[in-house]
């Protein structure tokens, strides 16, 4: 028998988890049905790991999971807004102090005469060579047998060429079906969502499920999340 599992979250116009169609042969319990449905939902959304992660959180995230993730600001439980409580008036801002006048800038020193190629000229104008006085340069060459200038940082390959770069890290992997099915089981036991099948609500994970032809199974979440 091919069973259709639908999901529903109150207050949301659309369901982000797709309809899961699973094959059931023989008796099945509520826990088995949850495992098969979660595995099929992950398979259908496997091409988009981020979307799959967000959709699973909205359907199966328990209050304990929300409390653990609340410091990150990713999700939060919805809270009723108190419309009758007046908002506190804002305090007046203090006037800003006047800015002090800026001090006049010091005159710049005259530039030294330049030699060839814009380099500083020699201090002795009687020198006929006209070559600039250069300061002592650091030892940039490895002599003898140097292969070139030392690189600024990082390993180098043969002949002073940069070495091979490290491989780029791989992207995040998708949700693990076994881990997500276990979390969905815990959410069912904690009353985060209910399973409606065969015309009644299932109460236990080990309860046998009565399936009817052409009648879908519904996973109905009871505690919607706000902001996610």
Could you tell me if residue 32 is inside a domain? yes
Per-residue pLDDT at 89 exceeds 70: no
Is residue 209 included in any domain, yes or no?
Answer: yes
Q: How confident is the model at residue 133 (pLDDT cuts 50, 70, 90)?
A: low
Mean pLDDT score, 183-202: 94
Stretch 150-176: mean pLDDT:
55
Supply the pLDDT for residue 84: 47
Number of domains in the chain: 1
CB-hemisphere CA count at 13 Å for 156?
Answer: 11
Q: Is the pLDDT of residue 182 over 60?
A: yes
Q: Is residue 83 part of a domain?
A: no
The per-residue pLDDT for 74 is 56
Mean pLDDT of 142-150: 48
Does any domain span residue 98? no
Predicted structure pTM score: 0.56
> Does residue 108 sit within a domain?
no
What DSSP line would sit under 24-82, residue for residue? --S--BHHHHHHHHHHHHHHHTTT-HHHHHHHHHHHH--HHHHHHHGGGTS-EE-----
> 127 or 108, which is more confident?
108
Q: Establish if 25 belongs to a structural domain.
A: yes
What per-residue confidence (pLDDT) applies to 2? 92
63 belongs to a structural domain: yes
- Please indicate, yes or no, if residue 47 is contained in any of the structural domains: yes
Given a cut of 50, whether residue 16 has pLDDT beyond it is yes
Q: For residue 219, is pLDDT > 50?
A: yes
| Most confidently predicted of 65-69, 94-98, 222-226 | 65-69
Does the structure show a pLDDT above 90 at 34?
yes
Enclosing domain of residue 221: 2-75+174-226
Burial of 218 (0-12, 13-18, 19+ CB in 10 A): middle
pLDDT at 191 over 80: yes
Query: Mean pLDDT, the chain, as a whole number?
Result: 72
């Amino acid at each position: 028998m091919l069973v259709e599992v639908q999901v529903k979250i109150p207050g949301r116009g659309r369901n982000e988890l797709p309809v899961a169609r699973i094959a059931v042969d023989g008796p099945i319990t509520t826990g088995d049905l949850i495992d098969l449905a979660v595995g099929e939902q992950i398979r259908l959304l496997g091409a988009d790991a981020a979307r799959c992660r967000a959709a699973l959180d909205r359907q199966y995230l328990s209050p304990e999971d929300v409390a653990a993730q609340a410091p990150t600001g990713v999700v939060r439980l919805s809270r009723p807004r108190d419309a009758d409580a007046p908002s506190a008036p804002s305090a007046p801002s203090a006037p800003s102090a006047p800015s002090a006048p800026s001090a006049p800038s010091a005159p710049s020193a005259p530039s030294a005469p330049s030699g060839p190629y814009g380099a500083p000229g020699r201090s002795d104008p009687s020198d006929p060579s006209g070559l600039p006085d250069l300061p002592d340069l650091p030892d940039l060459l490895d002599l003898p047998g140097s292969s070139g200038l030392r690189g600024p940082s990082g390993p180098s390959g043969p002949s002073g060429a940069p070495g091979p770069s490290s491989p780029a890290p791989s992207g995040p992997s998708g949700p693990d079906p076994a881990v997500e099915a276990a979390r969905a089981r815990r959410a069912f036991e904690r009353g985060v969502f209910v399973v409606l099948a065969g015309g009644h609500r299932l109460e236990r994970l080990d309860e046998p499920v009565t399936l009817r032809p052409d009648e879908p199974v519904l996973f109905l979440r009871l505690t919607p999340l706000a902001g996610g």
